[in-house]
Structure 1
Amino acid sequence: MAVKPSSTAATIPKKPQSLKSRTIELHQKRIGEALSFPIQLSDQIAAAAKEAESFKFECSEVAKQVERLRQMLRSAARLAADAAYDRPLRRVAAEVTKTLERSLALMKKCRRRSALRRVVTIVSAADFRKLLALLDASAADMKWILSILDGGGGIVLTLPPIASNDPIIAWVWALTAALHIGQLQDKIEAANELASLARDNDRNKQIIVEEGGIPPLLKLLKDRTSSEAQIAAASSLINLANDQNRVQAIIDEHGAPIIAQILGNSAVKVQIKVASLVAEMAQNSPLAQEEFARENVIRALVTLLSFDLFVENSMLKLGENSIHSIVQINKESSVLSSSSSSYPSQSAEMKIELKTSCAKALWMLARGSVANSRRIAETKGLLCLAKLIEVERGELQRNCLMSLTEITTAAESNADLRRAAFKTNSPAAKGVVDQLIRIIQESDDPSLQVASIRAVGCLARTFPAREMRVLGPLVALLGHGDEAVAAEAAAALGKFGCPDNFLCVQHCKTIIEFGGVPLLMRLLRSNNDEARLHGVILACYLAIHAGKSDDLEREGVAGALEGVDRALIVQHPQLKELIPQAIYHLTVFHHSHSGMLTQR
């Protein structure tokens, strides 16, 4: 008598599968589906070969080749069930399937048929020669695939027939497979080879991404057992990340949290590469800027940039700091001291290299981003950048300066950031301006001067009336021998004199008092269009806001404005209204003054 199962047992739910188990099962199912059809085809071909009435020998040779392929397909199915990388197998299986379908069609033509069908359907020995050549190529492809899936012999250097017209794709398959299933040294070699391929051209980069190279590179980046492996992975990712779509591919594989984690806690030589990766991704993708900010990468970068900086200098000038500044510096010193204790002693050159990479990353994260610029200011990054500009030279100084330029550019467009980060009485803001002015006055590098001038101009609305320490150096640069520097000085002074600046009248008067008009007239005669444009705009602001000045009449500013090249006005429509307005102010003030003298 059959035993009826109890209702209790029948209602016991099955234990739910884990995500990993479901993923493995789905992977195995997909591999099985990809390989089951060609295996079925091979069985059908074997049966059709036995039924052949014509070309029996040729059909038997085909059957032998197909049987060889069937064994390889079964071996591949067993290996691929546990393999994490199957893209080349899928491609080869698709080509093998086409060849097997062609084989089956030819076998069917060799069965017993009516006389009419034999006349209409003609099979030749040439058909079999072509088919056997295709089967040989498929066998070679499968042999190559099996060597890839086995993974015991390191990186496979041979070229399968399927990739004869495009060797790069086979090379990428082999290297990517080595990243998945190779030994550690094989993975390092594969990552370095992928970095080299990616460095060559964008097509190689795209193939690496499309063929699944990013996930194993990120996995290798996480491998803390080998700094060499992490550096190799980071180098490959850097070379891939020069395009927004490829950066998106890295982000889609959850790359941002992985990169943030490695940046915050790894060997210094690894952090150098990872900071460079952050810079490359942020440079080419606004989304990467947001993702890294969400992962607190900015705070990690500022901490690394500050390493050994305030610790060494915080106790040197306590008498010159306010109580608040001393407390803040002590807080930062304790944080940095605790973080630095986890680092082994490094050479000075390596520390500079790390800070240079971190400064470049901050520069790219701040570029065009008000939110990230605010985050840098909130982490006391301004004070750190200013200090490094003061004490360092070369690329590190340049990267720090460019970071400040981006932050000040964001502050110019955002009043909240401007008020929060660049308050007049803020030690950080004062330190930033001091270093910008020092570069303006002392540097012999025009590119550094231009960046500093631009940053000061962006802060024009933060300075009080009759700002002597800033306006004086800027006015002096109107006569600089480098036209790019002179043009940037005129552009910055134009922001002081712009009607949007609440103190524009006072600033214009100060510019004139510093002897700016004669230098400006020289700029108006320049052959450089940009220099003349900014010179004309500044001259107009001076005329509108300080038109009574005798310097403007003495230097003939009205005549100079009347003679502005028509082509310049056409290129810059704002001059159409600005120049007549400036000439009107000059005419009214100075004609009235001349009339009063005549009456006396």
Structure 2
Amino acid sequence: MATKPTSTATTPSSILHQKLLLKPQKQTEIEQQEKPIEELLSFPILLSDQINQAVKEAESFTFECSEVGKQVDRLCQMLRSAVRLATTGAAFYDRPLRRIAAEVSKNLEKSRTLVKKCRRGSIIRRVVTIVSTADFRKLLTLLESSVADMKWVLSIYEGAGGIVLTLPPIASNDPIISWVWSFIASLHMGTQLHDKIEAANELASLAKDNDRNKQIIVDEGGVFPLLKLLKDNSSTEGQVAASSALNYLANDLNRVRVIIEESGVPIIVQILGNSPMKVQVMVANLVARMAEHCNIAQEDFARDNVIRPLVTLLSIDLFVDDDHKSKFGKPSIHSIVQINKEMEKKSLYKPGVGSSLSMHSEGSSKNHRKERENEKPELKLRLKISCSEALWMLARGSVSNSRRITETKGLICLAKLVEIEEGELQSNCLMTIMEITSAAESNPDLRRSTFKTNSPAAKAVVDQLLRIIKDFSMNPRLQIAAIRAIGSLARTFPARETRIIGPLVETLSHRNHDVAIEASISLGKFACPDNFLCVEHSKTIIEFGGVPPIMRLLRGNERGILYGLILICYLAIHAGKSEALERAGVLNAFEGVDRGLVAQNPELKELIPQAIYHLSVFHQSHSGMLVQRQF
């Protein structure tokens, strides 16, 4: 019995071969990126074999087909070289090769289609399929570009990580992409440290220019090698270059998330805790940028305990003199010293780490401490500014981080710096305090545990806030922050603590309208019904002469009118018997209130009728038709 011949078209290997050729045409770009590089390169290599076979079978345009075959052979050799490089190198950067291989595959498919048209066929096929010399000229141009692209990509792989600044055809319309590829490849695969540092500096320069460059660097995989260079503590210059580039990248939520996904947070915290001061400055800036743009970064940094080293670095050379002991209390001295001791212990002991590593950490920690002692005051100031900004961004809108700062005794450190410093450092510390007090306002537990009346840290903070509020020559921005912080603590002050109300009432007459409005908002928190001592505080505000400046606010802009009305309503409701309210003509002021403003603010719609009622009870002669007015 005759054996049926097996068709080569139906063999398993042939079927696999056909699937391999057809599948990439239907796959998405994401699927292509996920494929192993060897598998991705096998497709154009198989295409090259098919084209060579079609060239041999060509019966028309034989010269042109042979020229195509020569270019395809060159490409095939380069592709095989790329496969060898990709499979032998441990740290292989494949982004440019993937992009170029995809373009090479497209051009090879076009070559296969055109060359196949030159094979013998029926008369009808030859008539329908029209091939011209111009088609081959276009194809050869594309193949020459592919050859140049492959030559370029091989040069960045075979150059031992050196930077290649030539421009491949694939990047002719966008040279930035080729530069980014070259710099990242140098970071990934470079054998010389100076090449990596140069590449990191070049990426920082590109990222500094615009957000598009930043996104290209992130999309092309630049974050991972930058973090790797940052982690390498053998070169301070390299760490500074890497952190500089990462700082420029970390100004966007999505880019910050990429840094987090690449395990950047634990690396950053580790470097911050035990590095030369130049590096710590840059890393603290990076913490601030990431926390500013991403609340996930806020949480992750806190989990990795970044707040403790930040407070420790902020307290460098910060000693409390004997003259200030009575002001800040003895615990303040102990707390600052204790922070440094605890930080040293934490940096020396890490669970699961051998004793040899601990000894190495101890030695490097001592070296860095000696270096810090000898650093210039300007660099120490820069470090404190960076750490204070990082704490500000970490505390912003976060109750848990605000609590952590207070638990590290950071509050006393911030208060001391607000007292003795000026400029950006003072501002950052004050803003951090403002965020902590805001968190305390929304969280009773934090408020009760941190801002107790007998707490030295709380007393130190309040003293500095009052000092800034009283100083009318102070920057209005700082005064607004101090006033806002005092207002957030309104529920913590007892009725006898009248020293808080007086400065706020004086600030109602501030020449800067925004400062005066902020004072009215803070006083409103003392006088609002949510405050248990609202009646006592309302009377104190009136006793300190608060009514006349509040009435002046009602003649200002819409924001001033709004908060001035809210405050005067609280005073009328809680202390309507006061003659100061009658003398100021508060009832008449209510009569002239803009109905539109009331309609836009439901709170006013409820408060004004209540205020009118309480005033009319004590001042019948002035009630008249106003009592009947509907708001």
Q: Can you list the C-alpha shifts for 1:143-175, whole angstroms capped at 9, x where unaligned?
A: 011011113372111111111222222221111
Structure 1 residues 106 and 593: alpha-carbon distance in aligned structure 2, compared to 1, 3 A threshold:
closer
- For 2:409, the equivalent position in structure 1 comes to 380
Whether 2:139 is the aligned partner of 1:110: answer no
User: What CA distance in whole angstroms lies between the structure 1 residues aligned with 2:542 and 2:97?
Assistant: 76
Give yes or no for contact 1:48–1:108 (8 Å, CA) kept in 2: yes
Whether 2:248 is the aligned partner of 1:255: answer no
- Of the three residues 210, 213, 223, the one matched with 2:219 is 210
Give yes or no for contact 1:307–1:336 (8 Å, CA) kept in 2: no
Give yes or no for contact 1:80–1:149 (8 Å, CA) kept in 2: no
Whether 2:95 is the aligned partner of 1:87: answer yes
Superposed displacement of residue 570, structure 1: 2.5
Structure 1 residues 571 and 234: alpha-carbon distance in aligned structure 2, compared to 1, 3 A threshold:
same
Normalised TM-score (structure 1): 0.91
Comparing 442-451 and 491-500, the one that deviates more? 442-451
Superposed displacement of residue 271, structure 1: 0.5
- 2:536 corresponds to which letter in structure 1? Q
Superposed displacement of residue 591, structure 1: 2.0
- For 2:60, the equivalent position in structure 1 comes to 54
Whether 2:159 is the aligned partner of 1:151: answer yes
Q: Paired residues, what number?
A: 566
User: What CA distance in whole angstroms lies between the structure 1 residues aligned with 2:108 and 2:173?
Assistant: 22
User: What CA distance in whole angstroms lies between the structure 1 residues aligned with 2:107 and 2:174?
Assistant: 20
Pairing 1:3-82 to 2, within 5 Å after superposition: 30-81=36-87, 82=89
- For 2:597, the equivalent position in structure 1 comes to 568
SS of residue in 2 equivalent to 1:111 = coil
- 2:206 corresponds to which letter in structure 1? L
- For 1:21, the equivalent position in structure 2 comes to none
- For 2:447, the equivalent position in structure 1 comes to 418
User: What CA distance in whole angstroms lies between the structure 2 residues aligned with 1:544 and 1:28?
Assistant: 68
Structure 1 residues 210 and 107: alpha-carbon distance in aligned structure 2, compared to 1, 3 A threshold:
same
User: What CA distance in whole angstroms lies between the structure 2 residues aligned with 1:390 and 1:248?
Assistant: 37
- 1:588 corresponds to which letter in structure 2? V
- For 2:107, the equivalent position in structure 1 comes to 99
- For 1:395, the equivalent position in structure 2 comes to 424
SS of residue in 2 equivalent to 1:313 = coil
- Of the three residues 547, 553, 569, the one matched with 2:582 is 553
User: What CA distance in whole angstroms lies between the structure 2 residues aligned with 1:363 and 1:305?
Assistant: 12
- For 1:512, the equivalent position in structure 2 comes to 542
Structure 1 residues 111 and 392: alpha-carbon distance in aligned structure 2, compared to 1, 3 A threshold:
same
Structure 1 residues 321 and 525: alpha-carbon distance in aligned structure 2, compared to 1, 3 A threshold:
closer
User: What CA distance in whole angstroms lies between the structure 2 residues aligned with 1:94 and 1:414?
Assistant: 56
Q: Can you list the C-alpha shifts for 1:377-422, whole angstroms capped at 9, x where unaligned?
A: 1111110000000000000000000000111111111101100111
User: What CA distance in whole angstroms lies between the structure 1 residues aligned with 2:480 and 2:580?
Assistant: 27
User: What CA distance in whole angstroms lies between the structure 2 residues aligned with 1:576 and 1:167?
Assistant: 62
Q: Can you list the C-alpha shifts for 1:487-514, whole angstroms capped at 9, x where unaligned?
A: 0000000000000000000000001110
Of all paired residues, the percent bearing the same amino acid is 68
Give yes or no for contact 2:402–2:436 (8 Å, CA) kept in 1: yes
- Of the three residues 177, 182, 192, the one matched with 1:174 is 182
Structure 1 residues 455 and 117: alpha-carbon distance in aligned structure 2, compared to 1, 3 A threshold:
same
User: What CA distance in whole angstroms lies between the structure 2 residues aligned with 1:321 and 1:403?
Assistant: 19
User: What CA distance in whole angstroms lies between the structure 1 residues aligned with 2:599 and 2:562?
Assistant: 12
Q: RMSD in angstroms over aligned alpha carbons? A: 2.1
Superposed displacement of residue 333, structure 1: 6.3
Give yes or no for contact 1:487–1:531 (8 Å, CA) kept in 2: yes
- For 1:20, the equivalent position in structure 2 comes to none
Structure 1 residues 200 and 453: alpha-carbon distance in aligned structure 2, compared to 1, 3 A threshold:
same
Whether 2:137 is the aligned partner of 1:125: answer no
User: What CA distance in whole angstroms lies between the structure 1 residues aligned with 2:336 and 2:186?
Assistant: 49
Superposed displacement of residue 180, structure 1: 0.7
- Of the three residues 295, 302, 308, the one matched with 2:317 is 308
Give yes or no for contact 2:616–2:622 (8 Å, CA) kept in 1: no
- For 1:288, the equivalent position in structure 2 comes to 297
User: What CA distance in whole angstroms lies between the structure 1 residues aligned with 2:547 and 2:567?
Assistant: 10
- 2:564 corresponds to which letter in structure 1? G
Gaps of 5+ in 2: 1-32, 348-364, 624-631
- For 2:308, the equivalent position in structure 1 comes to 299
Superposed displacement of residue 237, structure 1: 1.0
Comparing 76-85 and 242-251, the one that deviates more? 76-85
- For 2:338, the equivalent position in structure 1 comes to 331
User: What CA distance in whole angstroms lies between the structure 1 residues aligned with 2:209 and 2:324?
Assistant: 52
- For 1:438, the equivalent position in structure 2 comes to 467
Give yes or no for contact 2:312–2:339 (8 Å, CA) kept in 1: no
Give yes or no for contact 2:339–2:408 (8 Å, CA) kept in 1: no
Q: Can you list the C-alpha shifts for 1:51-98, whole angstroms capped at 9, x where unaligned?
A: 111111111111111111111111111112214210110111111111
- For 1:14, the equivalent position in structure 2 comes to none
SS of residue in 2 equivalent to 1:574 = helix
Structure 1 residues 240 and 326: alpha-carbon distance in aligned structure 2, compared to 1, 3 A threshold:
closer
- 1:33 corresponds to which letter in structure 2? E
Q: Can you list the C-alpha shifts for 1:331-363, whole angstroms capped at 9, x where unaligned?
A: 346557989854212111111100000000000
Structure 1 residues 213 and 336: alpha-carbon distance in aligned structure 2, compared to 1, 3 A threshold:
closer
Give yes or no for contact 1:306–1:336 (8 Å, CA) kept in 2: no
User: What CA distance in whole angstroms lies between the structure 2 residues aligned with 1:28 and 1:506?
Assistant: 69
Superposed displacement of residue 571, structure 1: 2.6
SS of residue in 1 equivalent to 2:481 = helix
User: What CA distance in whole angstroms lies between the structure 2 residues aligned with 1:352 and 1:529?
Assistant: 41
- For 1:479, the equivalent position in structure 2 comes to 509
- 2:572 corresponds to which letter in structure 1? A
User: What CA distance in whole angstroms lies between the structure 1 residues aligned with 2:329 and 2:259?
Assistant: 46
- For 1:15, the equivalent position in structure 2 comes to none
SS of residue in 2 equivalent to 1:235 = helix
Whether 2:565 is the aligned partner of 1:536: answer yes
Superposed displacement of residue 315, structure 1: 5.6
Superposed displacement of residue 29, structure 1: 8.2
Superposed displacement of residue 325, structure 1: 5.7
Whether 2:262 is the aligned partner of 1:277: answer no
User: What CA distance in whole angstroms lies between the structure 2 residues aligned with 1:320 and 1:563?
Assistant: 48
User: What CA distance in whole angstroms lies between the structure 2 residues aligned with 1:153 and 1:363?
Assistant: 40
Give yes or no for contact 2:328–2:460 (8 Å, CA) kept in 1: no
- For 1:496, the equivalent position in structure 2 comes to 526
- For 1:457, the equivalent position in structure 2 comes to 487
- Of the three residues 223, 229, 238, the one matched with 2:232 is 223
Give yes or no for contact 2:229–2:238 (8 Å, CA) kept in 1: yes
- 2:64 corresponds to which letter in structure 1? E
SS of residue in 1 equivalent to 2:618 = helix
Whether 2:590 is the aligned partner of 1:584: answer no
User: What CA distance in whole angstroms lies between the structure 2 residues aligned with 1:97 and 1:376?
Assistant: 57
User: What CA distance in whole angstroms lies between the structure 2 residues aligned with 1:579 and 1:249?
Assistant: 52
User: What CA distance in whole angstroms lies between the structure 2 residues aligned with 1:241 and 1:525?
Assistant: 45
